[in-house]
């Protein structure tokens, strides 16, 4: 990865995205020194145009951005940093500099899907998920059915905590069943999107 700092007088824009929620947190600028310092320390570092110096995001507040992954665009002149924020990102106290709440558990399902795929393609004896694949399609389908019944029971009993836990079990085992058929939860989402567009 070699950003082209010469293209814009030594500075390139940096979009920071939450690695867990996929929310865009802020936009800043880096020169080569800030880019290298981010790589070395793991803390997202910028060049402040107003202060005319390098600054580590969170150096005063303690609300650091911990870099997880750095991507570069096709022109080598813009960076996307996926980071874990330690506290609010904006100096106003907001979660993001765009005044959005940084909450989205849905993005975790994408990571869970990747984990399930890994347990399928690289099984281990210690993994519960791998053990499910070993049992085969019929047992997996049966497990999804059992979890679905548990969801109905807890819904009828109006037990919110158990309903949520059983729902989590149902979604997880459904994702495993889909993976066993070389399908993803995103394939289901695509169908929902198509249905929404036609309704």
Instruction: Give per-residue burial for 60-69: e unless 16+ CB within 10 Å, then b.
Output: eeebbbebee
Question: From CA 199, how far away is CA 197, in angstroms rounded?
Answer: 6
Query: CATH for 5-85?
Result: 3.10.20.810
Do the domains 106-198 and 5-85 match in fold?
no
Structure tokens at 150: 């548990």
Residue 101's Cβ-count burial label (10 Å; 0-12, 13-18, 19+) is exposed
- pTM (whole model) above 0.75: no
CATH 1.10.287.1080 fits 106-198, yes or no: yes
Question: From CA 195, how far away is CA 180, in angstroms rounded?
Answer: 25
Give 133-158 pLDDT, tens digit per residue.
999 999 999 999 999 999 999 999 99
Domain boundaries, the chain: 5-85, 106-198
Give 114-131 pLDDT, tens digit per residue.
999 999 999 999 999 999
Give 61-88 pLDDT, tens digit per residue.
999 999 999 999 999 999 999 999 999 9
Instruction: Tally DSSP H helices, then E strands, for the chain.
Output: 6, 6
Asked whether the predicted pLDDT for residue 105 surpasses 70, the reply is no
Question: From CA 6, how far away is CA 22, in angstroms rounded?
Answer: 29
Structure tokens at 199: 């309704």
What number is the average pLDDT over the span 188-198? 88
Count other Cβ atoms within 10 Å, centred on residue 32: 14
What are the residue ranges of helices labelled H in 53-159?
106-121, 128-135, 137-157
Count other Cβ atoms within 10 Å, centred on residue 185: 17
């Amino acid at each position: 990865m070699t950003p082209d700092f010469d293209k814009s007088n030594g500075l390139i824009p940096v979009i920071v995205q939450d690695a867990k929620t996929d929310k865009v947190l802020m936009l800043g600028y880096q020169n080569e020194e800030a880019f290298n310092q981010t790589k070395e320390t793991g803390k997202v570092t910028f060049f402040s145009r107003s202060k005319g110096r390098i600054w580590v995001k969170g150096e005063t507040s303690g609300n650091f951005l911990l870099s997880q992954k750095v991507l570069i665009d096709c022109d080598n002149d813009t960076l996307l940093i996926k980071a874990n924020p330690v506290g609010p990102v904006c100096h106003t106290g907001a979660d993001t500099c765009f005044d959005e709440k940084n909450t989205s558990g849905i993005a975790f399902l994408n990571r869970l899907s990747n984990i399930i795929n890994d347990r399928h393609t690289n099984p281990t004896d210690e993994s519960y998920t791998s053990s499910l694949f070993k049992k085969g399609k019929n047992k997996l389908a049966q497990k999804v059915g059992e979890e679905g019944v548990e969801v109905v029971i807890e819904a009828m009993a109006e037990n919110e905590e158990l309903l949520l836990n059983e729902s989590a079990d149902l979604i997880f085992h459904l994702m495993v069943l889909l993976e066993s058929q070389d399908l993803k939860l995103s394939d289901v989402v695509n169908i929902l999107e198509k249905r929404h567009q036609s309704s």
